Amino acid sequence: MIFRELREFGILGINNRIGRYILRHNKRSNYPLVDDKVKTATRADAWGVPMPENYFVITNFGDLKKLPQLVTNMQSFVIKPANGSQGNGIVVVSEVLKDEKGWISFRRSSGKIMNMEEVRHHISGILSGMYSLSGLPDTAIIQQKIDMHPVFNDYCFGGIPDVRVIVHAGFPVMSMVRLPTRDSDGKANLHQGAIGAGINLKDGTTHNAVIKNHVVEKHPDTGHLLNGLVIPHWQEVLELAARCYDMVELGYLGVDIVLTPDQGPILLELNARPGLAIQIANQAGLVPRLEKIAQEGPQGLTAKERVALSQSWF
Amino acid sequence: MKRLTPWIVGLLFLIPTGLLVYKSQVLNLSLLPQKVDDVWNFYISVKPKDAAATSVAFPIPRAGDGLKISEERIRGKGFDTLIDRNSDSAMLTWLSKEPMTKRVSYTARIDITPVIVRKIDKDYTSVYPRQIKKYLKQPVLTPEEETAIKLLEGAIFEGGEDKSLIARKAFYYVHEEIQRNVKFRTIVDALSSGKGSPLIKARLYAYLLRRKQVPARIVAMLRLPLITDSPVEKHQLTYASEVFLNNRWIAVDTNRGHFGERPDRYLVMHHHYEEVEKTIAKSKVAYTIRADRAVMNKFNKEEYRKDVLRKGSFFSFISLYRLPLPVQNIFNMILLIPLGALVLCVARNLVGIPTFGMFTPILLTMFFRETSLSFGLFFFLSVVAIGCIERYVLDKLYLLAVPRMSIILTLVIVLLMVIAFTGLAEFFGASHIGYFPIVIVTAFIERFSIMMTEDGMVNTMKTLLGTLVISILSYSLYSISMLEIVMFTNPEMLFYVMGLLVLIGKYKGYRLSEFIRFRDLIAQVKKKGTA
């Protein structure tokens, strides 16, 4: 059987992920809490989980008229669809530009300039549901732009990295950091060619990096060695991830965390259907770890205790 | 929960199996309508060779075992016609007051089924009814023939065999020891050279049997072409035999080696050739015989409908055959959709082929079905081109989503007009294009264009290819005409499909695509392990 090796290495496949983990452990009624970023933000606020500040949300096309007024005094911001996925539909404005006549334009993190009309068009696309998971009309979030933690300076091109932690029943299972490249257009999206670097749960050090399916040793744009990067505030990162389980009660959860220079780790977004590429980044299968938790993971522990157990196991 | 699945799957498989068994065993309904292929349009035209002749006669097929005749028509203005139907055969005679100068003809539709006698018991009959006695008539043989046949009889018969065994032994000899060769036309030639024409082989066979008091006769017939053969323009008479065993005539062909079987490609013209030999000799009459296959692979749904309704059971109520014809046609088509969905599920969940959404491949399949495969593909590719226009032109205009989609919709309609004006649909063999594709296609283009933006050209093309492959696979289901009729006649088989779908839905193993996706990972881990 050609799948023998996959099974031996404990690789988690899509069917298994859905059938055994997502359908079993994630209650459908809790999905909106993670799919809708406005709802996530409200819940996170109540639980004291730090997230980027939402400046305002746009729900009606009519509100687009007020856009120049709303952004005129901002330095930078991010436009996001509330129900987006995989980083689609996100525009990062790193600078709001004004010419002599008072016309506003925007410099994106990639360096491209967008005028007001382009931004309006983009937001109206979000509102009509172009980027939403379901295709239904959506809300646009205008959010605080997160600055990059200096530790990543040599590891990124164009955008900011995020740390993905898979959390099963509240226990951190596996983790990676996603580093943007020129190919990924500055997005921390593995499909588009961002680097995925597996992180050792015990000490927060990267130990292996891949682009798509191939192992890489150096960042293709900065030339920096990818292994041995120590993620700052590692304990806090894991504890934040573990707490998200208590917050949304999804048993199989992808937690995306960004590291800020001043606030430490903050929650970027949650994912109820996290992808499987994390296994490639870590060169390890998820199945043995998930089963260990199912068999030996005690219930009723605090986030801190769960993190400690995970770190002793994995 | 764990026990529920096998129960449900078991039930989904048991229900239709039970229904099918009940239908076939208790109600005695066949599970399919009768197939009506091997119906032939048959045509003979004749003219006497003697210019002064005022009549002409020729054998015509006679309905009976394995032979149905309908739509008989006799042509010949100003002629009296007479059909003489004796026990087994029919002779058609045209009579005229003046010498015949024109050809006269006979046409009919003929349905042949094979006649097979599987079990041939021992036969010790010694007395035959009067009408059979003529088939025992001894041939008049020359002294050489007499000697040769006697010699042969000594070699093949031991004495004391029953009549069935005699018939068999003679069959083996004539079939295997005498090669078919039209140049050898006498018994002596055949016996000395081991070669003989079909007629001489049939004669020899009949003589051998008659000398042992077994009634036998020579059959004049046509051997019609198989479906795989090239069609035959004009048919020639050829010959086979029949032997009377256990009170019935049994077909024998010493040329092609059939004993107790008359295949459905054998059209018997006359069962007692010796009787009409003189009348239809080539010196007497010029004839042309044609036979063309009329219908292929059609099923006799009308008969089946009657059959179902006659049973008056619960099945008469739920049978699709009782619905009006237009409704029937719809179901004929849509009953295969679940099978297409099954293909889709296998492709997506077991193989891991990416597609645009779940319904695009199915709808595309239906579109192919409604038009034609080549036209469907052409249309699909044109639509992809519109998608590219959207991606590269409309994107620059920053339109709101709904007007933008409406423009795409309009472009699709323009495309339909272009197709209509240029006659492209006819060119690709599509009968008509309904309203059906417009909305689906519009939605598809939008998805396509978004995917181009977000996932890039390569991924989009992969998905496009996946969608096409699956659509073509499910479309190929429609080319199995058997499948359509099976589903239509036994729609309870949808339960089987559901059972399979539950099983696929429960599959938690790897997809074939994951084997490729994680191949490098495994190779790398292994390398590390050995290093």
Rounded to two decimals, the ipTM of the complex is: 0.78
A115-165 pLDDT tens trace:
888 899 899 888 887 787 666 788 999 999 988 899 998 898 878 899 999
Are A121 and B518 in contact (CB < 8 Å)? no
Parallel, antiparallel or unpaired: strands B285-295 and A162-168:
unpaired
Pick from B450, B518, B524: which is nearest to A11 by CB?
A: B518
φ, ψ of residue B362 in degrees (nearest 5): -70, -45
d(CA B103, CA B286): 9
Amino acid at B231: P
A240-282 pLDDT tens trace:
999 999 999 999 999 999 999 988 999 999 999 898 999 999 9
For residue A56, what are the β-bridge partners?
A142
d(CA A215, CA A225): 12
Listed in order, strand segments (DSSP E) in A191-314 are 195-200, 205-211, 214-215, 252-260, 264-271
Contacts of B509 in chain A (CB under 8 A): 3, 13, 15-16
d(CA B247, CA B263): 21
Q: Say if residue B55 is in the same domain as residue B164.
A: no
Query: Tokens for B458?
Result: 């390569």
Contacts of B515 in chain A (CB under 8 A): 2-3, 6
d(CA B467, CA B462): 9
**Sequence-distant (≥ 6) Cβ neighbours of residue A205 within 8 angstroms:** A199, A228, A229, A230, A231
Contacts of A3 in chain B (CB under 8 A): 509-510, 515
Question: Closest approach of chain A CAs to the CA of B377, in angstroms?
Answer: 27
In-domain check, residue B519: no
Query: Tokens for B29?
Result: 């309904």
Angle between helix B481-489 and B325-334 (nearest 10): 120
Q: Residue B25 carries which DSSP code?
A: I
Q: Say if residue B199 is in the same domain as residue B253.
A: yes
Segments making up each domain of chain A, as ranges: 4-39+148-313, 54-143
In-domain check, residue B284: no
Residue of B nearest to A13 (CA): B510
* Rg, Å, chain A Cα set: 20
Q: Say if residue B166 is in the same domain as residue B222.
A: yes
Contact B514, A13 (CB under 8 A): yes
Pick from B400, B402, B508: which is nearest to A15 by CB?
A: B508
Q: Which of B112, B139, B174 is the last residue of a domain?
A: B112
Parallel, antiparallel or unpaired: strands B115-116 and B104-112:
unpaired
Pick from A125, A192, A213: which is nearest to B401 by CB?
A: A125
Contact B511, B350 (CB under 8 A): yes
Look at residue A98 in the predicted model and tell me its pLDDT. 86
- Chain A within 8 Å of B462 (Cβ-Cβ)? no
In-domain check, residue B278: no
Q: Which CATH architecture has domain A4-39+148-313?
A: 2-Layer Sandwich (3.30)
Return the SS3 of B241.
strand
In-domain check, residue B306: yes
CA distances from B407 to B194, B396, B412, B421 (A): 83, 14, 9, 21
Query: Tokens for A123?
Result: 């937001």
Q: What CATH number is associated with residue B237?
A: 3.10.620.30
DSSP class per residue in A47-69: HT---PPEEEEE-SGGGGGGHHH
Contact B146, B186 (CB under 8 A): no
Question: Closest approach of chain B CAs to the CA of A288, in angstroms?
Answer: 15
Residue of B nearest to A126 (CA): B401
Q: Which residues of A touch B (CB under 8 A)?
A: 2-3, 5-7, 9, 11, 13-16, 19-20, 61, 86, 88, 117-118, 120-121, 124-125, 127-130, 191-192, 213-215, 279-280, 283-284
Q: Say if residue B122 is in the same domain as residue B257.
A: yes
Q: Say if residue B47 is in the same domain as residue B71.
A: yes
Listed in order, strand segments (DSSP E) in chain A are 54-58, 77-81, 91-98, 104-108, 113-115, 140-143, 162-168, 171-179, 195-200, 205-211, 214-215, 252-260, 264-271
φ, ψ of residue B292 in degrees (nearest 5): -120, 140
CA distances from B490 to B324, B416, B494 (A): 17, 38, 9
**Which candidate, B258, B268, B248, B253, places its Cα nearest to that of B66?**
B268
Are B399 and A9 in contact (CB < 8 Å)? no
**Sequence-distant (≥ 6) Cβ neighbours of residue B11 within 8 angstroms:** none
Contacts of B508 in chain A (CB under 8 A): 13, 15-16, 19-20
- Chain A within 8 Å of B517 (Cβ-Cβ)? yes
- Say which residue the tokens 């396509």 belong to: B448
**Sequence-distant (≥ 6) Cβ neighbours of residue B492 within 8 angstroms:** B15, B16, B19, B20
d(CA B178, CA B203): 12
Are A215 and B524 in contact (CB < 8 Å)? yes
For residue B313, what are the β-bridge partners?
none
Pick from A13, A129, A280: which is nearest to B521 by CB?
A: A280
* Rg, Å, chain B Cα set: 34
DSSP class per residue in B102-145: S-EEEEEEEEE--EE-------------HHHHGGGPPPP--HHH
Q: Which of B433, B455, B479 is the last residue of a domain?
A: B479
d(CA B500, CA B512): 19
Q: Say if residue B362 is in the same domain as residue B449.
A: yes
Q: Say if residue B319 is in the same domain as residue B372.
A: no
Q: Residue B23 carries which DSSP code?
A: I
Are A214 and B506 in contact (CB < 8 Å)? no
d(CA A289, CA A309): 12
Are A15 and B511 in contact (CB < 8 Å)? yes
Are B450 and A130 in contact (CB < 8 Å)? yes
Return the SS3 of B80.
strand
A182-233 pLDDT tens trace:
888 777 888 888 999 999 999 999 999 999 888 899 999 888 899 999 999 9
For residue A270, what are the β-bridge partners?
A255
Question: Closest approach of chain A CAs to the CA of B335, in angstroms?
Answer: 28
Contacts of B506 in chain A (CB under 8 A): 19
d(CA A306, CA A201): 12
- Chain A within 8 Å of B392 (Cβ-Cβ)? no
Residue of A nearest to B450 (CA): A130
Total structural domains within chain B = 4
Q: Say if residue B97 is in the same domain as residue B122.
A: no
Contact A176, A281 (CB under 8 A): yes
Look at residue B2 in the predicted model and tell me its pLDDT. 61
d(CA B531, CA B523): 12
Q: Which of B112, B129, B146 is the last residue of a domain?
A: B112
Q: Residue B342 carries which DSSP code?
A: H
Are B518 and A125 in contact (CB < 8 Å)? no
Q: Say if residue B8 is in the same domain as residue B56.
A: no
Q: Say if residue B8 is in the same domain as residue B97.
A: no
Q: Tens-of-pLDDT digits for all 531 residues of chain B?
A: 568 889 999 999 999 999 889 888 887 777 777 666 567 888 998 888 888 888 888 888 888 888 888 778 888 777 888 888 876 888 888 888 888 888 888 988 888 888 888 888 888 888 888 888 888 888 888 888 888 888 888 888 888 888 888 888 889 988 888 888 888 888 888 888 888 888 988 988 999 889 888 999 999 999 888 766 777 778 888 999 999 988 889 999 998 888 988 888 888 999 888 888 888 888 888 888 888 877 555 567 777 787 777 777 777 777 888 888 888 888 888 888 899 999 999 999 999 998 887 778 888 888 888 778 888 888 888 888 888 887 778 777 777 777 878 888 888 888 888 887 887 777 766 666 666 667 777 777 877 877 777 777 888 888 899 999 999 988 888 888 788 888 888 899 999 999 999 999 989 889 999 888 888 888 888 887 765
Are A124 and B511 in contact (CB < 8 Å)? no
**Which candidate, B446, A277, A76, places its Cα nearest to that of B454?**
B446
- Chain A within 8 Å of B349 (Cβ-Cβ)? yes
Are A19 and B506 in contact (CB < 8 Å)? yes
- Chain A within 8 Å of B450 (Cβ-Cβ)? yes
In-domain check, residue B50: yes
Kindly state the average pLDDT of the residues A66-85: 87
Are A213 and B528 in contact (CB < 8 Å)? no
For residue A95, what are the β-bridge partners?
A107
Amino acid at B110: I
Q: Say if residue B87 is in the same domain as residue B227.
A: no
Q: Say if residue B488 is in the same domain as residue B466.
A: no
Range of the domain at B366: 354-479
